[in-house]
Amino acid sequence: MKLSAPVYHLKRKAKLLSRAENIPLHQALDRIARQHGFAGWSLLAAKMSAAVPAEKLFARLAPGDLLLVGARPGQGKTLMSLELAVQAMKAGSRGVFFTLEYTEKDILDRFRAIGAERADFAGLFEFDSSDALSSDYIVERLATAPRGTLVVVDYLQLLDQKRANPELMIQVQALQSFARDRGLIFVFISQIDRSYDPSKKPCPDLEDVRLPNPLDLSLFSKTCFLNNGAIHFRAAS
Protein backbone atom coordinates (compact mmCIF):
# COMPACT_ATOMS: atom_id res chain seq x y z
CA MET A 1 0.00 0.00 0.00
CA LYS A 2 1.47 3.35 -1.03
CA LEU A 3 1.53 6.13 1.55
CA SER A 4 0.75 9.77 0.83
CA ALA A 5 4.02 10.81 2.50
CA PRO A 6 7.12 9.20 4.04
CA VAL A 7 6.61 7.58 7.44
CA TYR A 8 8.56 10.27 9.27
CA HIS A 9 6.27 12.94 7.75
CA LEU A 10 3.22 11.02 8.95
CA LYS A 11 4.75 10.74 12.41
CA ARG A 12 5.32 14.49 12.49
CA LYS A 13 1.71 15.00 11.41
CA ALA A 14 0.58 12.78 14.28
CA LYS A 15 2.61 14.83 16.77
CA LEU A 16 0.93 17.99 15.56
CA LEU A 17 -2.47 16.30 15.82
CA SER A 18 -1.64 15.15 19.35
CA ARG A 19 -0.85 18.70 20.43
CA ALA A 20 -3.76 20.29 18.60
CA GLU A 21 -6.39 17.94 20.02
CA ASN A 22 -4.65 17.23 23.34
CA ILE A 23 -4.72 13.47 22.83
CA PRO A 24 -1.97 10.89 23.54
CA LEU A 25 0.54 10.46 20.74
CA HIS A 26 -0.29 6.78 20.28
CA GLN A 27 -3.93 7.69 19.59
CA ALA A 28 -2.87 10.30 17.06
CA LEU A 29 -0.56 7.80 15.37
CA ASP A 30 -3.36 5.23 15.15
CA ARG A 31 -5.69 7.86 13.68
CA ILE A 32 -3.17 8.74 10.98
CA ALA A 33 -2.68 5.03 10.25
CA ARG A 34 -6.42 4.48 9.85
CA GLN A 35 -6.52 7.33 7.33
CA HIS A 36 -4.17 5.23 5.22
CA GLY A 37 -6.14 2.01 5.58
CA PHE A 38 -4.27 0.40 8.49
CA ALA A 39 -5.84 -0.76 11.75
CA GLY A 40 -3.11 0.92 13.79
CA TRP A 41 0.27 2.61 13.62
CA SER A 42 2.30 -0.49 14.48
CA LEU A 43 0.72 -2.34 11.55
CA LEU A 44 1.49 0.56 9.21
CA ALA A 45 5.12 0.57 10.37
CA ALA A 46 5.40 -3.19 10.00
CA LYS A 47 3.92 -3.19 6.50
CA MET A 48 6.27 -0.43 5.44
CA SER A 49 9.17 -2.60 6.60
CA ALA A 50 8.80 -4.81 3.54
CA ALA A 51 12.47 -4.58 2.54
CA VAL A 52 13.19 -7.60 4.74
CA PRO A 53 9.86 -9.33 5.45
CA ALA A 54 9.57 -11.73 8.37
CA GLU A 55 9.76 -14.72 6.03
CA LYS A 56 13.22 -13.72 4.81
CA LEU A 57 14.38 -12.72 8.28
CA PHE A 58 13.24 -16.04 9.73
CA ALA A 59 15.27 -17.85 7.06
CA ARG A 60 18.38 -16.20 8.52
CA LEU A 61 17.77 -17.58 11.99
CA ALA A 62 19.08 -20.89 13.27
CA PRO A 63 18.62 -22.97 16.44
CA GLY A 64 20.70 -21.44 19.23
CA ASP A 65 20.36 -17.87 17.94
CA LEU A 66 19.58 -14.89 20.16
CA LEU A 67 18.03 -12.12 18.06
CA LEU A 68 17.65 -8.60 19.43
CA VAL A 69 14.76 -6.63 17.85
CA GLY A 70 14.99 -2.95 18.77
CA ALA A 71 12.90 0.08 17.89
CA ARG A 72 11.19 3.09 19.40
CA PRO A 73 7.45 2.69 20.24
CA GLY A 74 5.11 2.36 17.29
CA GLN A 75 7.67 1.07 14.80
CA GLY A 76 6.34 -2.51 14.55
CA LYS A 77 8.85 -4.48 16.64
CA THR A 78 6.14 -6.48 18.43
CA LEU A 79 4.39 -7.35 15.17
CA MET A 80 7.72 -8.30 13.58
CA SER A 81 8.52 -10.62 16.49
CA LEU A 82 5.06 -12.18 16.36
CA GLU A 83 5.44 -12.68 12.61
CA LEU A 84 8.69 -14.55 13.27
CA ALA A 85 6.79 -16.83 15.65
CA VAL A 86 4.19 -17.38 12.94
CA GLN A 87 6.93 -18.28 10.45
CA ALA A 88 8.32 -20.82 12.92
CA MET A 89 4.89 -22.37 13.37
CA LYS A 90 4.32 -22.51 9.63
CA ALA A 91 7.50 -24.59 9.53
CA GLY A 92 6.01 -26.94 12.14
CA SER A 93 7.90 -25.60 15.16
CA ARG A 94 6.43 -24.08 18.31
CA GLY A 95 6.08 -20.39 19.10
CA VAL A 96 6.10 -19.06 22.67
CA PHE A 97 5.39 -15.42 23.59
CA PHE A 98 6.41 -14.16 27.03
CA THR A 99 5.15 -10.67 27.85
CA LEU A 100 4.10 -8.34 30.63
CA GLU A 101 3.06 -5.68 28.13
CA TYR A 102 0.11 -7.35 26.42
CA THR A 103 -2.93 -9.43 27.27
CA GLU A 104 -3.74 -12.58 25.39
CA LYS A 105 -6.55 -10.71 23.61
CA ASP A 106 -4.02 -8.08 22.48
CA ILE A 107 -1.87 -10.77 20.92
CA LEU A 108 -4.88 -12.42 19.25
CA ASP A 109 -5.74 -9.03 17.73
CA ARG A 110 -2.19 -8.75 16.44
CA PHE A 111 -2.40 -12.22 14.93
CA ARG A 112 -5.34 -10.95 12.87
CA ALA A 113 -3.47 -7.74 12.01
CA ILE A 114 -0.75 -9.79 10.29
CA GLY A 115 -3.28 -12.00 8.54
CA ALA A 116 -2.99 -15.03 10.83
CA GLU A 117 -5.31 -16.85 13.20
CA ARG A 118 -4.22 -18.61 16.36
CA ALA A 119 -6.60 -21.44 15.50
CA ASP A 120 -4.41 -22.20 12.48
CA PHE A 121 -1.61 -23.19 14.86
CA ALA A 122 -3.47 -25.28 17.40
CA GLY A 123 -1.05 -26.76 19.89
CA LEU A 124 1.91 -24.81 18.52
CA PHE A 125 1.46 -21.37 20.11
CA GLU A 126 1.78 -20.57 23.80
CA PHE A 127 1.16 -17.21 25.49
CA ASP A 128 2.58 -16.45 28.94
CA SER A 129 2.09 -13.20 30.87
CA SER A 130 3.26 -14.35 34.30
CA ASP A 131 4.63 -11.70 36.66
CA ALA A 132 7.38 -14.19 37.46
CA LEU A 133 9.12 -13.48 34.16
CA SER A 134 12.86 -14.13 34.52
CA SER A 135 15.49 -16.38 32.98
CA ASP A 136 14.85 -19.04 35.63
CA TYR A 137 11.11 -18.96 34.94
CA ILE A 138 11.61 -19.13 31.17
CA VAL A 139 14.01 -22.07 31.44
CA GLU A 140 11.57 -23.91 33.70
CA ARG A 141 8.61 -23.27 31.38
CA LEU A 142 10.57 -24.42 28.33
CA ALA A 143 12.14 -27.48 29.93
CA THR A 144 10.48 -29.78 27.38
CA ALA A 145 10.37 -27.40 24.41
CA PRO A 146 11.47 -29.18 21.22
CA ARG A 147 14.39 -28.04 19.08
CA GLY A 148 13.46 -25.17 16.76
CA THR A 149 10.96 -23.55 19.13
CA LEU A 150 10.96 -19.77 18.64
CA VAL A 151 10.66 -17.83 21.90
CA VAL A 152 9.74 -14.14 22.05
CA VAL A 153 10.63 -12.21 25.21
CA ASP A 154 8.70 -8.94 25.40
CA TYR A 155 10.77 -7.17 26.41
CA LEU A 156 14.47 -7.47 27.34
CA GLN A 157 14.44 -4.73 29.98
CA LEU A 158 11.61 -6.40 31.92
CA LEU A 159 14.05 -9.08 33.03
CA ASP A 160 15.88 -6.34 34.90
CA GLN A 161 12.99 -4.85 36.87
CA LYS A 162 12.79 -7.06 39.96
CA ARG A 163 15.62 -6.89 42.47
CA ALA A 164 15.00 -10.52 43.38
CA ASN A 165 16.05 -11.58 39.86
CA PRO A 166 19.71 -12.15 38.96
CA GLU A 167 21.57 -9.37 37.16
CA LEU A 168 20.48 -8.87 33.57
CA MET A 169 23.88 -10.04 32.26
CA ILE A 170 23.57 -13.31 34.19
CA GLN A 171 20.01 -13.88 32.93
CA VAL A 172 20.88 -13.35 29.27
CA GLN A 173 23.97 -15.55 29.60
CA ALA A 174 21.78 -18.29 31.08
CA LEU A 175 19.27 -17.99 28.24
CA GLN A 176 22.07 -18.01 25.67
CA SER A 177 23.42 -21.29 27.09
CA PHE A 178 19.91 -22.73 27.30
CA ALA A 179 19.15 -21.77 23.68
CA ARG A 180 22.34 -23.38 22.42
CA ASP A 181 21.93 -26.54 24.49
CA ARG A 182 18.30 -27.06 23.47
CA GLY A 183 18.41 -25.67 19.93
CA LEU A 184 15.88 -22.91 20.58
CA ILE A 185 15.65 -19.48 18.94
CA PHE A 186 15.19 -16.50 21.25
CA VAL A 187 13.84 -13.15 20.03
CA PHE A 188 14.27 -10.34 22.55
CA ILE A 189 12.22 -7.21 21.93
CA SER A 190 14.19 -4.22 23.18
CA GLN A 191 13.50 -0.64 24.11
CA ILE A 192 15.60 2.12 22.57
CA ASP A 193 17.03 4.96 24.63
CA ARG A 194 15.18 8.26 24.45
CA SER A 195 18.42 9.98 23.43
CA TYR A 196 18.24 8.29 20.01
CA ASP A 197 17.78 11.00 17.38
CA PRO A 198 16.45 9.74 14.00
CA SER A 199 17.44 13.04 12.36
CA LYS A 200 21.08 12.19 13.04
CA LYS A 201 20.93 8.43 12.47
CA PRO A 202 18.22 6.88 10.24
CA CYS A 203 18.03 3.66 12.26
CA PRO A 204 19.04 2.84 15.85
CA ASP A 205 21.80 0.35 16.59
CA LEU A 206 23.40 -1.36 19.58
CA GLU A 207 24.62 1.98 20.96
CA ASP A 208 20.98 3.06 21.32
CA VAL A 209 19.68 0.07 23.30
CA ARG A 210 18.32 1.22 26.66
CA LEU A 211 20.35 -0.45 29.39
CA PRO A 212 19.69 0.62 32.99
CA ASN A 213 22.31 -1.97 34.03
CA PRO A 214 25.35 -3.44 32.23
CA LEU A 215 24.82 -6.06 29.52
CA ASP A 216 27.30 -7.44 27.00
CA LEU A 217 25.33 -7.01 23.78
CA SER A 218 27.67 -9.38 21.96
CA LEU A 219 25.65 -12.14 23.63
CA PHE A 220 23.11 -11.60 20.85
CA SER A 221 24.09 -13.47 17.71
CA LYS A 222 21.90 -11.31 15.48
CA THR A 223 20.24 -7.89 15.64
CA CYS A 224 17.34 -6.25 13.87
CA PHE A 225 16.56 -2.54 14.26
CA LEU A 226 13.48 -0.83 12.84
CA ASN A 227 12.69 2.80 12.17
CA ASN A 228 10.34 4.60 9.78
CA GLY A 229 9.75 1.53 7.64
CA ALA A 230 13.43 0.53 7.39
CA ILE A 231 14.95 -2.63 8.84
CA HIS A 232 18.64 -3.05 9.58
CA PHE A 233 19.56 -6.70 10.12
CA ARG A 234 23.04 -7.77 11.17
CA ALA A 235 24.62 -11.09 12.12
CA ALA A 236 27.51 -11.11 14.56
CA SER A 237 30.83 -11.64 12.85
- What is the pLDDT, as a whole number, of residue 228? 77
62 and 13 within one domain: no
- What is the pLDDT, as a whole number, of residue 234? 94
29 and 121 within one domain: no
82 lies in some domain = yes
Q: Please count the structural domains in the chain.
A: 2
77 and 15 within one domain: no
201 and 95 within one domain: yes
198 and 131 within one domain: yes
User: What pLDDT digit, counting tens, does each position of 26-66 carry?
Assistant: 899 899 988 888 888 877 776 665 444 788 899 999 999 99
Domain enclosing residue 156, as ranges:
54-235
184 and 78 within one domain: yes
101 lies in some domain = yes
178 and 103 within one domain: yes
- What is the pLDDT, as a whole number, of residue 49? 54
145 and 114 within one domain: yes
- What is the pLDDT, as a whole number, of residue 52? 47
208 and 173 within one domain: yes
49 lies in some domain = no
- What is the pLDDT, as a whole number, of residue 11? 80
45 lies in some domain = no
User: What pLDDT digit, counting tens, does each position of 218-227 carry?
Assistant: 999 999 999 8
Residues of the chain with pLDDT under 50: 50-52
How far apart CA 203 and CA 72 sit, in angstroms, is 10
- What is the pLDDT, as a whole number, of residue 236? 78
2 lies in some domain = no
121 and 25 within one domain: no
- What is the pLDDT, as a whole number, of residue 3? 61
44 lies in some domain = no
1 lies in some domain = no
65 and 146 within one domain: yes
- What is the pLDDT, as a whole number, of residue 237? 61
172 and 60 within one domain: yes
- What is the pLDDT, as a whole number, of residue 46? 64
43 lies in some domain = no
CATH number where 100 lies? 3.40.50.300
